Structure 1
Amino acid sequence: MTKYHAIRDQLLDRLDTMAPGEQLPPERVLVRELGVSRMTLRRATDELVASGVVRRRPGAGVFAVGPKLDTALSATSFTEDMRARGLRPGSAILSFERRAAGARIGRRLEVSPAADVVHVTRLRLADDEPMSIEALYIPEGTVPGLSPEDLENASYYDMLRTRYDVTIARGVQTIEPTVTDEEESDKLGVPLHSPALLFERTSWTAEGAVVEFVRSIYRGDRYQIRTELSVPQVAEPARGTTP
């Protein structure tokens, strides 16, 4: 193991004992404690910044970010997910409009390109920290009378059930890596071209009606995908038979 990798691992060990938002000691202190050059320390710190383990604030120092949030491959809302983690969910409406679906969104929602849809863009928050940008498309007939205030710090799924008597029965979701553009970086508070996860999801009712198409950009430094795997059990051949 190189000196640089050894220093990186020592910093990771230190971060395991730190709370999110806690500041690492100043560079001059770490150089003395770890017995390394400033160049080696900076290289190790730069890698931790790039991987999302710490955050550098110009003029202030380097701060622990805390563990990434696992997002399971399940049909739970952002609000339910954050509450289950003991975090306070929130959202800010970035845009709200009613417009014609157009060809691409029409295909996703299984409606005519001329059909009216509601397009909402929200900044999703956890304990007031930006986590994702969500673009939500809904057939107008599914949510008559919907207003921006209805979705401010509220769960869309909860509102569907309680106000519109609509329950989501199934969905199809894709996930792919991406990087943030200028606008996304500004809203999420991350550097330009930061790693991110792109989620696209279409959901249906039990009757087969499309309820939503969602396109979300999640911060790569705060999220990781978790999935449970099972190993198929192979039945043993009966005695006296050849496998």
Structure 2
Amino acid sequence: MIANDIERQIAEGELVPGERLKTERELVVKYDVSKMTLRHAFDELIKKNVIINRYHQGYFVTNANIYRDKEIMGVTEMFARRGLEIKSEVVKLAKVFPDPEAKEMLQLKEGEWIYRLERIRRASHEVMLLEYANIVASKVPNLEMFNFEEFSLFDVYHKHYGIHVSWARDEISADWVAGKQAAILLDRKTGPALIVKNLSFDQSGTPLEYTTQIYNYKVFTYTVISNQTTPKYSAELED
């Protein structure tokens, strides 16, 4: 809870790179936790390079992380902004137990379920990305009744469940894909791809969805724009 809230403050510009966090005493009172619990949260943020501990000075927001400071939107909405209609092929939609990575990222307890939604996303008859979404099942009961070849996941969250994605964090990397993924995405046995791992939070500040998106490198790039105060990025499709 503490780590997520601090990351939310950074994402929303309440805390900026280089800014010092409040003192341990102030944060213990604010979150109503012990010093040990607070330090566990700090350790988690340090491991993720979100904050650093400067000896005898306190904890500071690092300059190494890039966060959204623009409207959060789903893939369907992002492509629509570029004048492209996204077509989806649902490969899988099932209620399952999460794998260890999804369980950790979504902060699930033993025995809690997720919905696993796997889709191939196309635009202009070309495969743009492969998408593997893990969604907390308790937040979206009966999700399987929706046809996600027709509906936007973000629209369903908002219109049917009253859920608003309040903030999100993306981890972006370049990697090599092979086998079935490369065949579908690139029409070859192996090749490069852009990997985006997105963790989205609802209006209560708790994890809602953890998704891996594998983008066709030929049609998608990330552009990073930085200034002296708040770094930001934008996602763009190649024209």
TM class by shorter-chain length?
0.5 to 0.7
- CA positional deviation for 1:190: 2.8
- CA positional deviation for 1:83: 0.8
Of 163, 172, 176, the residue aligned with 1:179 is 176
Counterpart CA distance in 1 for 2:102 and 2:228 is: 38
State the partner residue of 1:27. none
- CA positional deviation for 1:170: 0.7
Are the counterparts in 2 of residues 167 and 205 from structure 1 also a CA contact under 8 Å?
Answer: yes
> Are 2:198 and 1:213 aligned?
no
State the partner residue of 2:149. 152
Unaligned runs of 5+ in 2: 1-66, 230-239
Counterpart CA distance in 1 for 2:123 and 2:145 is: 20
Q: 1:41-86 CA distances to partner (integer Å, 9 max, x unpaired)?
A: xxxxxxxxxxxxxxxxxxxxxxxxxxxxxxx965321111111111
1:15-94 correspondence runs (5 A): 75-94=72-91
Of 105, 108, 111, the residue aligned with 1:111 is 108
- CA positional deviation for 1:148: 6.5
State the partner residue of 2:93. 96
TM-score normalized by structure 1?
0.62
Counterpart CA distance in 2 for 1:135 and 1:148 is: 18
> Are 2:201 and 1:204 aligned?
yes
Which protein shows a greater Rg? 1
Give the AA of the match of 2:216: R
State the partner residue of 1:120. 117
- CA positional deviation for 1:189: 3.9
Structure 1 residues 127 and 103: CA distance shift in structure 2, 3 A:
same
- CA positional deviation for 1:122: 0.5
State the partner residue of 2:227. 230
Unaligned runs of 5+ in 1: 1-71, 233-243
Structure 1 residues 193 and 99: CA distance shift in structure 2, 3 A:
same
State the partner residue of 2:160. 163
> Are 2:128 and 1:131 aligned?
yes
Counterpart CA distance in 2 for 1:103 and 1:222 is: 31
Q: Secondary structure at the match of 2:83?
A: coil
- CA positional deviation for 1:149: 4.3
Are the counterparts in 2 of residues 101 and 114 from structure 1 also a CA contact under 8 Å?
Answer: no
1:187-202 correspondence runs (5 A): 187-202=184-199
- CA positional deviation for 1:102: 3.9
Are the counterparts in 1 of residues 171 and 198 from structure 2 also a CA contact under 8 Å?
Answer: yes
TM-score normalized by structure 2?
0.63
Are the counterparts in 1 of residues 163 and 203 from structure 2 also a CA contact under 8 Å?
Answer: no
Are the counterparts in 2 of residues 203 and 210 from structure 1 also a CA contact under 8 Å?
Answer: yes
Q: Secondary structure at the match of 2:78?
A: helix
- CA positional deviation for 1:98: 1.1
Counterpart CA distance in 2 for 1:114 and 1:99 is: 10
